[in-house]
């Protein structure tokens, strides 16, 4: 995101040598959505207009040179979505977005804190202009990643975070490599207190691991990411049986992404995602596969067109339990059809400046007959279709 930063001298009152002073920057962005939403659910909701913020944040960051080509750095990014809608649930606390303390140099970047996983870093590069989950120009990772989890650990059984493969992990140890002739890697794992605490006799040890590798040369880039969740998903049996019966399991996701820019004006990206949930460590599983296509065309000057299409296949496996938004693939010993969905988005953007953009967008999430994916505005019926049409304003500072 382009930003205007304010450089502040820190510790000047201490009369420290000028070379020792840290440089602190303030930046961020505002993203306001206003749209008409049709939930296709006449029994519970009606078409209405919606105003909300998506990913608005304030960032404070700084660096200090330690010598020998090594820097120490920090970032505190705080959600300011409440600037528009007063939703304190999304703004409580400081540093709830990508925030960390780290060291970087010729060895790469080692940092600790609350940060997007290596899988999400790849997913974000694929989605580009589009949001991951918002109801106006997002929704792709509601389907491909099970929804978003930000700074949310594996809390109580049934918590809506353990199954997400589109997440920002709290209490994480992260590494980002230098760029080796276009190739780079990133890795991360969570500390034990990211998960719930089990008594010592219990064998479950909640943990998350992630790794990605990317290669970029000229107009082309490719990336591959892997993420594993161990004993992290009590939500897998929150529907269909007592949530307290969860006895562990290993879930994993593989995401492949590729992008190419044609003639400097047409950027296309595609991804393939495959997730497998081991439900209750009893041999049952639930498998989710899907793909996404995104494109951005800078037509002329400030004008651009955007297109996205995301599609999942029907859920596979022997599980009779739902996992988050993914409905059980087996009912009464029979494989269930039509548990998949799609999202299609058309957008037009106009750049007033390098920092301010107006967007006009159409977005539709289409559930098949046995799917219940939701864009988060209101409840959805089985097989329901949700449509949003409206505008968004993005401003960075």
CA torsion, points 79, 82, 83, 86, in degrees to nearest 10? -170
Q: Which two tokens stand for residue 154?
A: 């594996």
pLDDT of residue 19: 44
Contacts of 72 (CB under 8 A, 6+ apart): 63, 64, 66, 101, 102, 103
3-state class (DSSP) for residue 86: coil
pLDDT of residue 72: 97
pLDDT of residue 158: 40
Distance CA 204, CA 230 (A): 8
**Domain boundaries in the chain?**
31-54+106-396
pLDDT of residue 92: 61
Segments in the chain below pLDDT 50: 1-20, 154-160, 236-244
Q: What are phi and psi of 126, to 5 degrees?
A: -70, -45
pLDDT of residue 156: 42
> Which of 13, 14, 116, 24 shows the shortest CA–CA distance to 74?
24
Q: Which residues pair with 85 in a beta bridge?
A: none
pLDDT in tens, 315-354: 999 988 888 899 999 888 888 999 999 999 999 999 999 9
Element (H, E) at 126: helix 118-127
End-to-end alpha-carbon separation of the chain, Å?
Answer: 9
* Residue carrying structure tokens 């080509």: 69
Per the CB < 8 A criterion, the answer to whether 23 and 387 are in contact is no
* Residue carrying structure tokens 């209490």: 171
pLDDT of residue 281: 62
Element (H, E) at 104: strand 99-105
Q: Which two tokens stand for residue 53?
A: 């913020």
CATH class of segment(s) 31-54+106-396:
mainly beta
Q: Which residues pair with 279 in a beta bridge?
A: 284
pLDDT of residue 248: 76
Does the predicted model carry a pTM greater than 0.85? yes
Which DSSP category does 374 fall into?
-
Provide the phi-psi class of 19: left if phi over 0, else alpha when psi is between -120 and 50, else beta.
Answer: alpha
Per the CB < 8 A criterion, the answer to whether 251 and 333 are in contact is no
Element (H, E) at 82: helix 82-85
Residue 283, classified by CB atoms within 10 Å of its CB into exposed (0-12), middle (13-18) or buried (19+), is: exposed
What is the per-residue DSSP string for 348-382? EEEESSSSEEEEEEEEEEEE-TT-----SSS---T
Distance CA 381, CA 378 (A): 10
Distance CA 105, CA 26 (A): 23
> What does the longest C-alpha to C-alpha distance in the chain come to?
75
């Amino acid at each position: 995101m382009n930003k205007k930063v304010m450089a502040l001298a820190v510790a000047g009152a201490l009369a420290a040598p000028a070379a020792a002073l840290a440089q602190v920057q303030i930046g961020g962005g505002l993203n306001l959505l206003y749209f008409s939403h049709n939930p296709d659910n006449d029994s519970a909701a009606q078409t209405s207009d919606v105003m909300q913020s998506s990913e608005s944040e304030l960032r404070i960051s700084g660096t200090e040179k330690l010598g020998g080509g090594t820097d120490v750095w920090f970032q505190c990014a705080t959600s300011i979505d409440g600037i528009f809608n007063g939703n304190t649930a999304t703004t409580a606390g400081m540093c709830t977005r990508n925030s960390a303390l780290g060291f970087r140099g010729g060895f790469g970047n080692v940092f600790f804190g609350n940060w997007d996983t290596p899988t999400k870093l790849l997913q974000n590069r694929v989605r580009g202009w589009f949001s991951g989950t918002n109801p106006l120009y997002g929704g792709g990772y509601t389907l491909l990643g099970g929804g978003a989890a930000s700074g949310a650990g594996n809390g109580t059984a049934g918590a809506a975070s353990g199954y997400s493969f589109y997440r920002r992990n709290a209490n994480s140890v992260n590494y980002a490599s230098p760029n080796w002739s276009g190739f780079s890697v990133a890795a991360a794992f969570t500390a034990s207190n990211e998960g719930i605490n089990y008594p010592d006799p219990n064998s479950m040890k909640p943990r998350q691991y992630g790794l990605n590798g990317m290669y970029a040369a000229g107009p082309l880039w490719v990336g591959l990411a892997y993420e594993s969740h161990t004993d992290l998903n009590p939500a897998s049996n929150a529907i269909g049986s007592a949530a307290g019966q969860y006895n562990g399991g290993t879930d994993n996701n593989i995401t492949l992404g590729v992008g190419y820019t044609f003639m400097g004006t047409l950027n296309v990206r595609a991804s393939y995602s495959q997730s497998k949930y081991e439900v209750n460590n009893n041999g049952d599983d639930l498998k989710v596969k899907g793909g996404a296509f995104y494109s951005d065309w800078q037509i002329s000057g400030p004008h651009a067109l955007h297109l996205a299409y995301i599609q999942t296949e029907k859920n596979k496996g022997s599980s009779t339990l739902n996992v988050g938004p993914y409905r059980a693939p087996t009912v009464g010993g029979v494989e269930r059809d039509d548990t998949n969905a799609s999202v299609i988005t058309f957008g037009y953007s106009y750049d007033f400046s390098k920092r301010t953009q107006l967007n006009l967008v159409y977005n539709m999430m289409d559930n098949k007959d046995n799917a219940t994916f939701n864009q988060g505005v209101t409840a959805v019926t089985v097989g329901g279709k949700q449509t949003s049409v409206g505008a968004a304003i993005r401003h960075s500072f």
